[in-house]
Amino acid sequence: MGSCWSCCGEHKIEEERLTGENKKKNVGWRIFSYKELHVATNAFSEDNKLGEGGFGSVYWGRTSDGLQIAVKKLKAMSSKAEMEFAVEVEVLGRVRHNNLLGLRGYCAGADQRLIVYDYMPNLSLLSHLHGQFAADMHLTWKRRMNIIIKSAEGLMYLHHEVTPHIIHRDIKASNVLLDSEFEPLVADFGFAKLIPDGVSHMTTRVKGTLGYLAPEYAMWGKVSESCDVYSFGVLMLEIVTGRKPIEKLAGGIKRTIAEWAEELIGRGRWRELGDPRMRGELDEGELRRVVGVAGLCVQSEGERRPCMRDVVAMLKGVVGIGIDQGTSYNDDDGDGDGDESGGFGVFGAMEETYYGRRVDAKKGNGF
């Protein structure tokens, strides 16, 4: 499953920019009738379609009181679709955070299941990184950093602040939506798991997207908050580099974004990590910080990854990252170029340092 706001609806991005208008009108949710949604979406017209996925389609609409909405319409009433509908409505009804896409309402008729959200005029992060708006370069470095930090805060809320805790299970670029000001909202909770107090992990059927799945989840179905952390690490690398999570090389070989990044970092070629479409207009210090945090998040062993509270603290610079640069990256001469050295490779160096000196975000201690 995943948000399908990224593949269609190009004409919508230039529509009126709602600077928080939807949120000001009504912060609650309600039950919609099928007739209301039928009228709002112009009978679910193809012209109103924002995108389509395996579960169904998402349509743009406007209610009788002028509210712009997005309506997810499930294509079939299978037991799987019914379960995902129930999970998403339950989770969305629980969450209240500026960077999580909340529930505007739903419709549960005899043979129809629809979920209603606020409409996001800038569609998804995926559409700007790899889709129809990628060439337009709306994603400046400042916006990318804001998207990373605010999305991390949304995940921190799910993992640490809401009760019971929630594991998203499908963190990826298409599930981060962008409002009129390019503020991010993490979306699509159809695969989410509610974790009771005292439970550290669960074993379940694997859901999610190739390239973002933590190893322990992909291989054994072991799911925990740490799986979201891994996915978010991949997403951070994707945002700053503009590359896809997995790329195909000659001979059918596949290379992950982390493997690609590690090679450049090991040579001290940090600036080459930045999305070339930004033409070098980035903050190298922030780039190193994000990549350093991402390196901690994509470690193969889940227990070595930081929690989202620590991730947020490191991204904001409240605590240090603890990269042992002497192991794999050395810049003693201060020229910013770095020097090659042996060792584990930069992600391995991060792993060794972090495992030995865990961040305590509550106390504000660095490494």
Q: Which residues are annotated as a binding site for ATP?
A: 73
Helix ranges (H only) for the chain are: 21-25, 34-40, 79-94, 125-129, 141-156, 215-220, 225-241, 257-266, 284-297, 308-315, 325-328, 346-356
Query: Over the Cα atoms of the chain, what is R_g?
Result: 21
For 52, the 3-state DSSP assignment is: strand
Per the CB < 8 A criterion, the answer to whether 325 and 333 are in contact is no
Per the CB < 8 A criterion, the answer to whether 105 and 27 are in contact is no
| d(C-alpha 358, C-alpha 355), whole Å | 6
| d(C-alpha 184, C-alpha 202), whole Å | 28
Active-site residue identified among 47, 136, 170, 333: 170
Contacts of 197 (CB under 8 A, 6+ apart): 163, 164
Q: Write the secondary structure of 185-203 as one string of H (helix), E (strand) and C (coil).
A: EECCCCCCEEECCCCCCEE
- Separation of CA 170 from chain center: 8
- Binding site, by residue number, is 73
Token representation of residue 314: 């490191």
Axis crossing angle, helix 284-297 with helix 225-241, rounded to the nearest 10: 150
275 is catalytic: no
CB atoms inside a 10 Å sphere around CB 52: 15
**DSSP H/E element including 181:** none
CA distances from 321 to 28, 234, 282, 328 (A): 39, 17, 20, 15
Please identify every residue annotated as catalytic.
Answer: 170
